[in-house]
Amino acid sequence: MKWSQALAEYQHYLKIERGLSSNSIVNYSYDIKKLVKYLNQNEINATPVEIGNDTIKGFIYNVSKKINSRSQARLISGLRNFFDYLIFEGYRTNNPLDLIESPKIGRKLPDTLSVKDIDLLIDAIDLDYTFRKINLGHRNKAIIETLYSCGLRVSELTDLKISDLFFDEGFIKVTGKGDKQRFVPIGTTTQKYIDTWLSIRNKIEPNPDSRDIVFLNFKGGKLTRAMIFTIIKNLVEISGLKKSISPHTFRHSFATHLLENGADLRAIQMMLGHESITTTEIYMHVDRSHLSNVLEKYHPRK
């Protein structure tokens, strides 16, 4: 079995059986391609069925000099999943990573913004910013408000459709990882900003594949992830905030601020679209005071 065949079958499995998104499949594939590149560079003739523990160890040692422990752990996990798949399909009887331990890593706490920080960023938006006669200032404000008020991932924001907006019911339909859909509440203030942008959007002729997309560029195409990062980077510079801020920072802030104000962890999990509540529990570490507040409010011997 050649590596190209094994990778193609694995990608098909991830898409059909696991229901993973295109981005996730690309990330899983990247680990395997990195291993194949290492084999080629070192003239090691080992197929996916034949490759052994020693070769994998050499590869991981080589890569570990260039990446941090968290990336090493992700790489080992990705390769282990690939070889588990080969065992499942009957191509192998053992996993060459069984005796390889992942490096110990601490749980990385997410960066968050205060409400004051977010107000500062929003105030930095120039609502008169116009390009090619299209006002993009109101679009940018709607983008930031939606990221923060709904806790969306950047890909969920760029994929958001007009047909996903259920403002009368107070919800938007979000398509998350693995094409799983969920309904997320949206406040009237954010609705107002989106409606303002949509009235401006009507002046743009959208591309055929972007007719239902909420946030467009001035050419009528769907915004890229990179463009969202650029918008935020520019706002950070204008506002004078000395923090590293990405689209995901707004998602973390959304969850943290809900928890600080007494929201139920299970409700936050559903809004974020986390498959496991253990992923959501990281926000308990961000705001430990919430635990004390729960004890004070609900325990009979407080």
Catalytic residues: 153, 177, 248, 251, 274, 283
Sequence letter at residue 263: A
Dihedral pair phi/psi, residue 181, rounded to 5°: -105, 145
The CA distance from 161 to 235, in Å, is 25
How far is residue 119 CA from its own chain's centroid?
23
Helix, strand, or coil (residue 296): helix
- Starting at the earlier edge strand, list the strands of the sheet with 165-166: 165-166, 171-175, 181-185
Dihedral pair phi/psi, residue 173, rounded to 5°: -95, 125
Q: Transcribe 70-136 into DSSP letters.
A: HHHHHHHHHHHHHHHHHHHTTS-SS-TTTTPPPPP-PPPPPP---HHHHHHHHHT--TT-EETTEE-
Handedness of CA 295, 296, 299, 301 (dihedral sign): positive
For residues 26 and 225, is the Cβ–Cβ distance under 8 A?
no
Helix, strand, or coil (residue 286): helix
The CA distance from 60 to 232, in Å, is 36
